[in-house]
Amino acid sequence: MPRGLHALPEIPYAADEDLLARALDLVPQDPHSTCFVNISRVAMGECVVVDAAGATSRLHWNPAPEPLRLPRARDYEEAMRAEIDRAVRVRLPASGPVAAHLSAGLDSGSVAATAARLQAETGAQVVAFTAVPRDTATTGCPPGRLLDEGPLAAATASLYGNIEHVRVGTEGRSPLDALGWVFELCEQPILNLCNQVWRDAIYELAQSRGLSVLLTGQAGNLTLSYKTYCPLRERLRDGGWSGLIDEVGAFSRRAGDIGPRLVEAIATRARAAPQQIGPSLMNRQRRDELGASTETLMTQRSQDTRSERLAALQRVDVAYYTKGALARWRIDERDPTADRRLVEFCLAVPDAQFMLGGISASLARRAMADRLPRRVLRERARGLQAADWHAGFSDPKRELAREVGRLSACPETNRMLDIAAMQAMIDDWPTSGWHQAAIAGRYRHHLLRALSNGDFLRRAAAARNEREAGG
């Protein structure tokens, strides 16, 4: 962690203000950068050797697998089951129960179900935690989303006698609660503060039960349940005309379902398109200084889906957060869907298998048919995590105005953020419509992200001043 190097007096302590500002616009950071100047990280898949002559680096993992060619669709399904079985098995504790996230989706459901099957071999239990919203805090729901993932998660848990299903509420918790400990133990700000609320609630419950290993499925969208947007030329390259004809035939044979399936195919492609949620809360003068580098990640797309997935996996480095959870709760968070061999397998599978018959995440739905309930396999809506995040404030205008006041008093955060716009948003705090895209974009995404990055920069500036003063 950066603090290991900051313990040395010759290493200056200073936050990377440019990186934190660009992160407001979702500009991806360089894989070697950290939130501190003068501190670099070893990139994922990289080996660095430091000696008296300096530092040299090389990639020890940069997969470019040849496309996997199996005779039948069910061969891919069997191979996927074998990979997920192995990836989960090697992450189970040596003995005793294991904790797991369990949502309504395919990824955490597949991990929890697989863990239950494997734990049954030794008579051990899986304690599956599902975050659920407050009963009265949410009204309305965006199209294609689930407000409460509890019922579908319960359907998965009910298939296994050794799964204890725990519904986790977040009453009495604020999205601002994690700011202090995340700065101290993770040393980088949280991109999505509202999700940290239910994550912390699960950590605390797992710790109280003496559970030391928590299984997740965070990388599943890029591996197990990948939803391809594969361009036509790539589909032809992977499967040829015969593969494309087979897929069209699958549509035709399902005449009764062709409408919903066609809608889903279109929706899957739409989800891959750039999503704009309005301008961030970066100070305008600061944006002018940074210039064109503030173009968002959403506008960057490769035509090679394998390269794009690999790049995304390399960008999303959760090591600092898992180390922070280990330090705070003594819980080792492990993600089988990010297993190296599973990643290599999924990169080698032709994209057509992930969209077979026009069904998104087709391979996961087929491969996991032996361990997930039909309701979950057929569900196309995605869970809306932390749908009730706004209810975590008892007095939102007062609590948020206090935070903005702290940011306003700090020269560094005042320079980075549009403080006036933030205060205006708080003054105009909505009383309803939280499911609407415009409101969610402004408040859930932009405001909370500005508060998170701003608080990190404020605390870093205070720590730097204390250090320079000899404290």
Q: Judging by DSSP bridges, how do beta strands 126-131 and 145-146 pair with one another?
A: unpaired
Residue-range domain boundaries for the chain: 69-471
DSSP codes of every residue in 198-215: HHHHHHHHHHHTT--EEE
Length of the chain: 471
> How far are the Cα atoms of 170, 179, 281, 284 from residue 403, in angstroms, in the given order?
21, 11, 15, 21
Calculate mean pLDDT across residues 430-436. Answer: 89
Fold of 69-471: Rossmann fold (3.40.50)
Confidence of residue 294 (pLDDT cuts 50, 70, 90): low
- Mean pLDDT across the stretch 205-213? 97
Tokens of residue 372, six digits: 């997930």
Of 297 and 408, more confident: 408
Q: What is the pLDDT of residues 218-228, one digit of tens each?
A: 999 999 999 88
CA-to-CA distance for 236 and 425, rounded, in angstroms?
49
Q: What is the pLDDT of residue 310?
A: 83
The single-letter DSSP state of residue 65 is P
What pLDDT, in 10s, does the model give residues 155-189?
Answer: 999 999 999 999 999 999 999 999 999 999 999 99
Residue spans of alpha helices (H) in 254-304: 258-272, 284-290
Compute the average pLDDT of residues 303-322.
Answer: 82
Contact 456, 406 (CB under 8 A): no
pLDDT mean across residues, the chain: 87
CA nearest to 349, candidates 45, 75, 44: 75
Q: What three-state secondary structure class fits 69?
A: coil
pLDDT of residue 312: 83
pTM for this predicted structure: 0.87
> Which pLDDT score, from 0 to 100, does residue 206 have?
97
Average pLDDT of the segment spanning 262-290 = 64
Question: In this structure, what are the phi and psi dihedrals at residue 430, rounded to the nearest 5 degrees?
Answer: -70, 155
